[in-house]
Amino acid sequence: MRCPFVSRLLALSLTYPPIMRRDGFEAFVTTLPAVTLVRQWRDDSVAKVGGKIFALLDRDPGEVWCKVSDMSFDLLTELPGIRPAPYFARAGWVAISVESPLGAAEVEAYVVEAHRLVATKLSKKLRLQLGLDHLPVHAPI
């Protein structure tokens, strides 16, 4: 376990993409349909659709945690800088750090897919109320 000073020093020496900073994360997720944003736990930025969490920013700057498909979970957690998200891993969540090989656009694409995965699990009635009835049930190829 790293000491807080070393962790902060490493954070300062890394270049975080906008999605891994609070203002960038919040600006991005609020462009998605029917998203609400709350601050929970240790002041994490938590993105929800229909009251269900689909992504969060753990610390600022920090890791992006998001729901992924079973196949993506297996593949992504083999990469450096991506791990099963603590407390959320059993539901198919990953924690993507700045040390991962993913670029900002790829992290954003996983957040968009997380939104779709969670939104399609909402009841049909709630999806209609939120204007999400147009979302594809299966991921685009």
pLDDT one-digit tens code per residue, 70-122: 999 999 999 999 999 999 999 999 999 999 999 999 999 999 999 999 999 99
- Structural domain boundaries, residue 96: 15-130
pLDDT at residue number 136? 67
Does residue 139 form part of some domain? Answer: no
Separation between Cα atoms, residue 131 and residue 120, nearest integer Å: 12
% of the chain at pLDDT higher than 70: 86
- The confidence band for 133, taking pLDDT boundaries of 50, 70 and 90, is confident
Residue 141 pLDDT level (bands cut at 50, 70, 90): very low
Number of folded domains that form the chain? 1
Q: Is residue 9 part of a domain?
A: no
For residue 92, is it within any domain?
yes
Average pLDDT of the chain is 90
Q: Is residue 5 part of a domain?
A: no
Confidence of residue 43 (pLDDT cuts 50, 70, 90): confident
Q: Is residue 27 part of a domain?
A: yes
CB 116 within 8 A of CB 139: yes
Q: What is the rounded average pLDDT of the residues 2-9?
A: 57
Domain CATH code at residue 67: 3.90.1150.30
How far apart (Å, rounded) are the C-alpha atoms in residues 85 and 100? 14
Residue 10 within a domain: no
- Asked if 65 and 94 count as a contact pair (C-beta separation under 8 A), the reply is yes
Higher pLDDT, 42 or 110: 110
CA 106 to the chain's CA centroid: 11
Q: Let me know if residue 8 belongs to a domain.
A: no
